[in-house]
Amino acid sequence: MAEIIWGLATSHVPSIGAAMDNAKTHDEYWSPLFEGYQPARDWMAQHTPDVVLVIYNDHANAIDLDLMPTFAIGTASHFPVADEGWGPRPVPPVLGHPELATHIVESLVDDEFDITVANQLQVDHGLTVPLSVYTPEPGDSWPCPVIPVLVNVLQYPQPTAKRCYALGQAIGRAIASYPENIKVAIFGTGGMSHQLSGERAGLINESFDHMFLDKIQTDPEELTRITREEYIREAGSEGIELIMWLVMRGAMNPVITRIAETYHVPASNTAAALALFENSENPS
């Protein structure tokens, strides 16, 4: 039986990746963020999974304007790194886990989730930046295979927070029913508060962010009652990415342990956070 061992919530702004790619992590601007990452990185290096699921959104790269899925799962054996308009990030190729991904898709569709199957997929910064947050120096290859789980946050109507949490719960059931004894980590990415365009560009809402960082562990159900409109109003037009953290949270046990946390403003135009949770034993 496969098992989720930990969950990582992290922002995925491209500039966090660029800071690493261009060796700027010790700059005055970036060092507070990367120093904040260190305790989580140290702990994760001691608790290595066999495969990671990355919940993220594509940013106008692999998903076409023509056909926009609410939820998609990548079932390929490898995922080329996308050229987002300035050449692909200089990171290792991303390898998939077709067997587990196929099992998850089949399980979710049986469970009444209307999954789009990404049989082929290029991955953008939404996926590769979280991998870099986890493994800053991967060398020639990432430490394990990756299953991309895509959520539409770009085009209204995004899935509701409630539906994202339910998807996570169903992913948790799917992983628990996978017959191989493997360890899985799950990443919820995006956020925190940020808005790129319009007169509210540059919006940061620290109190909403801290509330969310707290409740994602202790009371995710309350976060599922926040409407799309409220997410956009409070966290900004791009802050709605936070619903993807709820997918991660739903896949984990009711009780989880906070291993590390950091919050920093600004990383580019966003409030950036990291929160790492160990999946506690379920009292059964």
Partner 1 sequence: MSSKPDIEGTYVFGIEDNRRGYALNKLCSTFTSAENRQLFLGDEASYCDKFDLSPEQRSAILERDWVKMLDLGGSIFYIFKLAQLDKKSVQYLGGIFTGMSTEEFIAELKAGGRHFG
- Residues in contact with partner 1 by the rule CB under 8 A: 59-61, 64-65, 68, 75-77, 82-87, 98-99, 101-103, 105-106, 110, 117, 119-120, 154-157, 178-180, 193, 195-206, 228-229, 232-234, 236-237, 265-266, 268-269, 271
Structure tokens at 255: 């009780």
For the question of residue 103 being annotated catalytic, the response is no
Determine, following the binding rule CB under 8 A, whether residue 60 of this chain makes contact with a copy of itself.
no
How many other CB atoms are found less than 10 A from the CB of residue 218? 11
- Residue 127 · residue 54 · CB < 8 Å: yes
Distances (CA, A) of 23 to 27, 34, 134, 159, 263: 9, 12, 16, 37, 21
Q: Which does 265 bind (CB under 5 to 8 A by kind): Fe ion, partner 1, a copy of itself, none?
A: partner 1
Minimum CB distance to a copy of itself, residue 197 (Å): 20
For the question of residue 125 being annotated catalytic, the response is yes
Here's the x/- map for a copy of itself, 151-170, by CB under 8 A: it reads as ----xxxxxx-xx--xx---
Identify the residue whose tokens are 């390898």: 95
Here's the x/- map for Fe ion, 183-202, by CB under 5 A: it reads as -------x------------
Nearest C-alpha neighbor of 16 from the set 271, 222, 247: 271
Q: How far apart are CA 79 and CA 186, in angstroms?
A: 18
Determine, following the binding rule CB under 8 A, whether residue 63 of this chain makes contact with a copy of itself.
yes
Nearest C-alpha neighbor of 164 from the set 98, 102, 249: 249
Minimum CB distance to Fe ion, residue 190 (Å): 5
Q: Which does 279 bind (CB under 5 to 8 A by kind): partner 1, Fe ion, a copy of itself, none?
A: none
